Structure 1
Amino acid sequence: MTNTVIARLGLERRRSQLGELQRYLRVQEQGFVDLRGQVQAFCDRYVQALGAAYLELDALESQLHCATSGLAEALRRNGIAARSPLAPQATAMPVLPQLPGSTPLPPEPAGTWTEIAAPSLKTLYRRAAMRLHPDFATDDQDRRVREQGMMQVNEAYAAQNRAQLEVLLLAAGEDPVRVNGGNVDALRTWLGRCEQIVQGRLRVVQAHSVALSAHPMHQLWQAIHKAEAKGLDPLAVMFNRLSTQIAERRQELYIGQRLRPESDLAVAFVLRRIERMGAATTTTS
């Protein structure tokens, strides 16, 4: 009886610790959600301020690539060694880490702390037969699964292997209390499973929190927040720089679309483009 009381107290402590761990997990999850909401609000503001400019710049870069590639091809046909520039990469819009769905905890065993005698081996066998017998199959596939399971049950019973019968019954969905007897073992099994789930979820949340803190948009948000606190307007500065780049690309595109392949200016134009973008291939005639 003393051992039973000690076991109960130990499990009560574990259940209390599980509750504390769940509360800590909720705090961590909420912290991630709050921080992600703040960074997402900045991302929305960032896209609203600069998104259209980035799209226009990307479109100009794509047109420039087509014009430059056409010039390079024409130069090669005229016997002039020319390399093709790398294709420009479209500006990626910010995407923040998102927590995956959580695994729900299994229900707590019914009748907590109710002492139930462990069933006999014969009783376990009968319960296994009720759960796995092929006669209860719903279709051919289910029958094959049941036949395999029933074969394992018969082998375990013939070998008087109680542990194997218990495993088979639990895998078939039997209540741990009806398998192990007494709720002490059932509650211990339940607590262990819950602890694994909560600790695993906590590791996932912490990993996503680290990824969010290291995300470029989080770092940019912090930098811009500090600058704005000093009365600066960094987003306006970034927009002006993009506008300058757009004007330069428009002028470059205007020239590139009008150059003749036999012109020395065409070679210089391709070389400047390659210098900025890098070269994809080297072709000689």
Structure 2
Amino acid sequence: MTSQAITPRELDRRREELADLQRQLADEEAAYAASRTWLQAFIERYVAALGPLYMELDALESQLYCAMRYLHEALGRNGVDTRAPEPPRATATPLLPHLPPRAPLPPEPEGGLVHVGPPPLKTLYRRAAMRLHPDLAPDETERRRREQKMMEVNEAYAASDRQRLEQLLLAAGESQFKVKGGDADAVMAWLRQAERSVQGRLRVVQAHAALLVNHQMHQLGQAIEQAERKGLQPLTIMANRLRAQITERRQELYIGQRLQPESGMAEAFLRQRQQRLGGGIAASF
């Protein structure tokens, strides 16, 4: 039964609010997609420039760990107490969050928000005349049938018999919605459900956008691009620093693989390496 408390004006206003929400959602999804595309492109450029160097550094750290582990165990067998070396952590590959697909809105009730209430009797009469007028009959047999039906339509209209007019229209093929009107309560319930769906999606998009902005690669990308606009070459500087670290690790590995556990330098080497690792920051993209 149609709720008389819900007016077409109110439903139109709510639909406009829903449309505004959908436009906001589309804008924020587009902004998220653009931000993610930019960040992904920067990450690919960053990895292309520095990835091979990080991989080489990771390999050297792994070999150094093996050498340190050997010295630690050998020193332990000789009664020298040293802290066990911690396994190195591989350089992490930066990953970006993926926005989940949007769920479709619930199906809108038949007829949408047009003609929420049942049409007036005069409108029903006009629709019946359009559907059943004898002049529209394709042949004589159909004309006679229409003449009979139009007599019934005229009688029902004259008697203000809405129920009979509705029956005649439905039998003639008119849709239930156009005859009896829409269910305003159902439409309002649909609007509320659709609004909740769009608002929920907005929260998801905004949360993912915040993850992007707070991603360490986002901040790094902005800083690097800002420096590049000033004519600097931060990626080249970073690559040179990594090469310096690689050279240093090679030297340490050369020493670590040749130290004998009986040597006093073995214990000192272990302690110095562990102190530096304990105070340093693990490599990461």
TM-score (norm 1): 0.72
- The CA RMSD over aligned residues, in Å, is 1.9
> Which residue of structure 2 aligns with residue 93 of structure 1?
93
The yes-or-no answer on 1:190 pairing with 2:201 is: no
Shift of 1:115: 4.7
Q: Which runs of 5+ in 1 are unaligned?
A: 117-176, 280-285
Query: 2: distance between equivalents of 1:22 and 1:6?
Result: 23
The yes-or-no answer on 1:242 pairing with 2:242 is: yes
Is the Cα contact below 8 Å between 2:117 and 2:183 reproduced in 1?
A: yes
Is the Cα contact below 8 Å between 1:260 and 1:266 reproduced in 2?
A: yes
Is the Cα contact below 8 Å between 2:105 and 2:194 reproduced in 1?
A: yes
The yes-or-no answer on 1:202 pairing with 2:202 is: yes
> Which residue of structure 2 aligns with residue 158 of structure 1?
none
Is the Cα contact below 8 Å between 1:28 and 1:206 reproduced in 2?
A: yes
Q: Which amino acid aligns with 1:274?
A: Q
The yes-or-no answer on 1:78 pairing with 2:70 is: no
Is the Cα contact below 8 Å between 2:6 and 2:184 reproduced in 1?
A: no
Is the Cα contact below 8 Å between 1:84 and 1:274 reproduced in 2?
A: no
Is the Cα contact below 8 Å between 2:58 and 2:90 reproduced in 1?
A: yes
Shift of 1:247: 0.8
> Which residue of structure 2 aligns with residue 30 of structure 1?
30
- Map Cα deviations across residues 252-272 of structure 1 (whole Å, 9 max, x no partner): 111111111000111111111
Query: 1: distance between equivalents of 2:55 and 2:37?
Result: 25
Query: 1: distance between equivalents of 2:244 and 2:238?
Result: 10
From the CA coordinates, give the structure whose radius of gyration is larger: 2
Q: Which amino acid aligns with 1:222?
A: Q
> Which residue of structure 1 aligns with residue 46 of structure 2?
46
- Map Cα deviations across residues 229-249 of structure 1 (whole Å, 9 max, x no partner): 111000000000000001111
User: Aligned residues, how many?
Assistant: 214
> Which residue of structure 1 aligns with residue 124 of structure 2?
none
Q: Which runs of 5+ in 2 are unaligned?
A: 119-176, 280-285
> Which residue of structure 2 aligns with residue 255 of structure 1?
255
> Which residue of structure 2 aligns with residue 111 of structure 1?
111
Is the Cα contact below 8 Å between 1:58 and 1:91 reproduced in 2?
A: yes
Query: 2: distance between equivalents of 1:33 and 1:6?
Result: 39
Runs of 4+, deviation exceeding 6 Å: none
Structure 1 239/94 Cα, relative in aligned 2: closer, same or farther at 3 Å? Answer: same
Q: Secondary structure at the match of 1:86?
A: coil
Shift of 1:277: 2.2
Query: 1: distance between equivalents of 2:205 and 2:111?
Result: 33
Query: 1: distance between equivalents of 2:222 and 2:278?
Result: 32
Shift of 1:111: 3.0
> Which residue of structure 2 aligns with residue 225 of structure 1?
225
- Map Cα deviations across residues 57-104 of structure 1 (whole Å, 9 max, x no partner): 011101101110110110010011111122211110111222111111
The yes-or-no answer on 1:12 pairing with 2:12 is: yes
Query: 2: distance between equivalents of 1:258 and 1:32?
Result: 54
Q: Secondary structure at the match of 2:252?
A: helix
TM-score (norm 2): 0.72
Q: Percent identity?
A: 56
